[in-house]
A and B are shown apart, each in its own frame.
Chain A
Amino acid sequence: MPDNTPSQIDELPADIAVPRDNGELQFAQPWEARAFGMAVLLNENGSYPWKHFSERLAETIHTAESHGDESAYYERWLNALESLAIENGLVSRDELTQRAIEQAHQHNHDHDHDHDHDH
């Protein structure tokens, strides 16, 4: 573990309060919630023990931090989930890549469409 710990703890949010029913907003964006839900469900349906996901997440976080990678928590979560899903044969890397390309295409198409008025 690197020793030059940033003193970011000064930025700890001051939300030390009586808990609301669910404390605080968990997910910054909808896809983060989807990635969370997928990991939980795949554990519940027996695709992997939680321990395996938890260990993969820890490895992913460690790798990112030791490379000074600034990726956000749920990006690491998603990386761990993808690699475990591939390793356990739930999906292949090729089909995941192919599907992502299709999704990106769709995404760009939607995006272009949104901006039609501007051009």
Chain B
Amino acid sequence: MSDTHHHTHSSADAEIRAKALESLLIEKGLISTDLIDEVVRQYEEDIGPLNGARVVARAWTDPDYREWLLRDGTQAIADMGYHGREGSKIVVLENTASVHNLVVCTLCSCYPWPVLGLPPNWYKSYAYRARAVREPRKVLSEFGLILSEDIEVRVWDSNSEVRYLVLPEQPAGTETLSSEQLIALVSRDSMIGVAHANGPV
């Protein structure tokens, strides 16, 4: 019998424990209410998939940037002003006519925060984490993405040191679009690899 391992898992219980931890950390001068507010605000308002969409659109229109991005994703993304707070490396994976990349974190929820914000709930689900590696084509089909058998599917398992961002293929017929128009075609899901970029409207 162990009291310390007894968890009721009620949300009220978690709320109380979170408040207890926060008040102690504040008393010890380790954090402040204002700093927490600011971090949360940044992740709710400033840091999101739009950052990644800007990176992708630049890579579509600038061959030198594309080459840099694929060679050193972390630095090329930092050049856009997007830095990983938690200091992990970002590797960019290029989708082509013959290779499709899919990103998962089988252990938890590692994700390229600086360019995509925080992960969607399905990315954190047990079903996605377990099945993306085992039956990627079936998972993709459930997202509505049916890939022909001659396209190789590569699944990349993120971890605490390396995060992955998919560079989707530029849709045909979008060569003359402006940068802003291209950015609008790049969905979050296309940068995780569960969708293609959207076609021209």
Contact = CB atoms under 8 A, between A and B. Distances in A.
B24 A45 contact: no
Interface in B20-46: 20-25, 28, 30-31, 35-37, 39-40, 43-46
B70 interface: no
**B-side interface mostly:** helix
**A-side interface mostly:** helix
A58 to B, nearest CB: 4
B9 A70 contact: yes
Contacts, number: 199
Nearest to A93: B4
A20 B108 contact: no
Contacts of B44: 22, 26-27, 33
Interface in B129-184: 130-131, 134, 139, 142-144, 159-161, 184
Size category, B interface: 35 or more
A84 B152 CA distance: 40
A55 B109 CA distance: 11
Given A50-B88, A74-B14, A103-B19, A18 B39 contact: no
B21 A85 contact: yes
Interface of B: 4, 7, 9, 11-12, 14-25, 28, 30-31, 35-37, 39-40, 43-50, 53, 85-88, 107-110, 116-118, 120-122, 124-128, 130-131, 134, 139, 142-144, 159-161, 184-189, 194-195, 198
Given A26-B43, A74-B14, 15 more contacts: A8-B127, A10-B142, A12-B143, A19-B49, A26-B117, A26-B118, A35-B18, A36-B118, A38-B18, A44-B85, A45-B31, A54-B110, A69-B9, A82-B17, A96-B24
24 contacts: A8-B125, A9-B139, A12-B125, A13-B120, A16-B143, A16-B195, A18-B187, A19-B186, A21-B45, A22-B117, A23-B116, A23-B120, A37-B40, A41-B31, A42-B31, A50-B86, A50-B88, A50-B160, A51-B160, A54-B160, A62-B107, A73-B121, A75-B9, A102-B20
